[in-house]
Amino acid sequence: MNNIVILDTDTTLKEHLKDCPQKVNVSQFSTTTRLFSHIKSFPCDLLFIEPSLNGINAKELIKQLQDKYQLTIVLTTALTEINHSVQLLKMGIENYLLKPLIKSKTHELIEKLELTKERKKISTFDEETMIASSPKMVKVLNLLLKVAKSQSHVLIQGESGTGKEVAARILHQHSLRNNQSFIKVNCAAIPDTLVESEFFGHEKGSFTGALATRIGRFELANKGSILLDEITEVPLSMQAKLLRAIQEMEFERVGGQKTLTTDVRIISTSNQNLKLALDEKRFRSDLYYRLNVIPIHIPPLRERKEDIIPLAIHFLKQLSIHHQESVKTLTPSAQKKLVDHHWPGNIRELSNVIERSCILCEKNSIAASSIFLDNL
């Protein structure tokens, strides 16, 4: 919800949005003519409309907007006008803010809409493709499909760039939860002080900067799957709380009194040697055994050379769609160069090499001399 437009003469909402925890750009207009000329040229995700504004026919306006644009509409309405607004709400608009406007209510609504948008995005991601031509990867794929239907937690291990996230998405897509959310938490990217809030959410005012209530990822993933990416990066101090959430499926938001329950399938990944992390006491063994009900190891690309060319062709096809050109091919010597390489960065490195070659080689057939490897 980055680009917000307000159709109203009252500027209170614009003032409230200035301190919104999410970064938003706000434009305000008082006539429909100016509103339309703006949204024709600039992106708009969210539109607040005062339906009683002088000179507008709110019903007609909403219909026109719904026909032409993909945006979320929220009514800002006074209690005395609510009857009129209820009619408009029947037109498929779900949200309204009551006037006089309250800043915290506005912020809560933005947070709610963000989450709804994220949920939609997550639940409609494209069908994941997993290329598996080598005997080792065929085994992995079969195992993934076999365990997908169970409710057990899965721990996926493998070097960086081997396809752990792809495997996690395949698991979710083939699970009984596939019509529910798939929520990813990148444990390596969250500052230690915010991990708890990211997992379990927080109540408004529970710490400096907690301007509005936030729903955590465990709550958001309810009934679906949660991917705890790079699980070994979770600080030791948080691991006990995470263990409880996984064991009991209950937790409290930071600063909250109420115990919340959730029902999630946990898929965790790690590119580290977990046994070493256990020996070095960086990772709790009770948490490890909870997460590792079904262990899956994704082999490095150098151990499954039969996958290299099918993967390269897969990336060439993706690039041709992206650039709207015909699919480039690889000469036999280019193929040999790819197969002989050691691929320390695994599939991510292969994808980069193919993209680079595609950009630098103007011919339709890519020769070995146009393949530039990262020789670290």
Ligand X SMILES: Nc1ncnc2c1ncn2[C@@H]1O[C@H](COP(=O)(O)OP(=O)(O)OP(=O)(O)O)[C@@H](O)[C@H]1O
Residues that bind ligand X (CB under 6 A): 129-132, 158, 160-166, 271, 311, 314, 347-348, 351
Residue 81 touches Mg ion, criterion: CB under 5 A = no
Q: Are strands 214-215 and 201-202 parallel, antiparallel or unpaired?
A: antiparallel
Question: Least CB distance from residue 275 to ligand X, whole Å?
Answer: 18
Nearer to Mg ion, 162 or 370 (CB): 162
Nearer to Mg ion, 114 or 165 (CB): 165
Distance from C-alpha of 33 to C-alpha of 29, rounded to nearest angstrom: 9
Q: What angle do CA 324, 330, 335 make, to 5 degrees?
A: 140
Residue 165 touches Mg ion, criterion: CB under 5 A = yes
Contact 249, 264 (CB under 8 A): yes
Contacts of 106 (CB under 8 A, 6+ apart): 13, 16, 17, 20, 97
Question: Least CB distance from residue 249 to Mg ion, whole Å?
Answer: 25
Question: Least CB distance from residue 354 to ligand X, whole Å?
Answer: 11
The DSSP annotation for 278-327 comes to HHTTSS-HHHHHHH-SEEEEPPPGGG-GGGHHHHHHHHHHHHHHHHTSPP
Question: Least CB distance from residue 268 to Mg ion, whole Å?
Answer: 11
**In this structure, what token pair is assigned to residue 142?**
């079969």
Size of the site for Mg ion (CB under 5 A): 1
Q: Is 142 helix (H, G, I), strand (E, B) or coil?
A: helix
Residue 10 touches Mg ion, criterion: CB under 5 A = no
Nearer to ligand X, 129 or 237 (CB): 129
Question: Least CB distance from residue 223 to ligand X, whole Å?
Answer: 24
Which of 339, 337, 330 is closest to 305 using CA atoms?
339
Which residue in the shown chain puts its C-beta closest to ligand X? Answer: 163
Which residue in the shown chain puts its C-beta closest to Mg ion? Answer: 165
Whether residue 21 has a cis bond before it, omega within 30° of 0: no
Q: Is 268 helix (H, G, I), strand (E, B) or coil?
A: strand
Distance from C-alpha of 237 to C-alpha of 164, rounded to nearest angstrom: 26
Question: Least CB distance from residue 227 to ligand X, whole Å?
Answer: 10
Contact 200, 252 (CB under 8 A): yes
- Beta strands (DSSP E) in 109-233 are 154-157, 182-186, 201-202, 214-215, 225-229
Contact 331, 368 (CB under 8 A): yes
Binding partner selected for residue 130 from ligand X, Mg ion, none, CB under the kind-specific 5 to 8 Å limit:
ligand X
Nearer to ligand X, 51 or 163 (CB): 163
Contact 327, 316 (CB under 8 A): yes
Question: Least CB distance from residue 358 to ligand X, whole Å?
Answer: 15
Binding partner selected for residue 347 from Mg ion, ligand X, none, CB under the kind-specific 5 to 8 Å limit:
ligand X
Question: Least CB distance from residue 116 to Mg ion, whole Å?
Answer: 26
Residues that bind Mg ion (CB under 5 A): 165
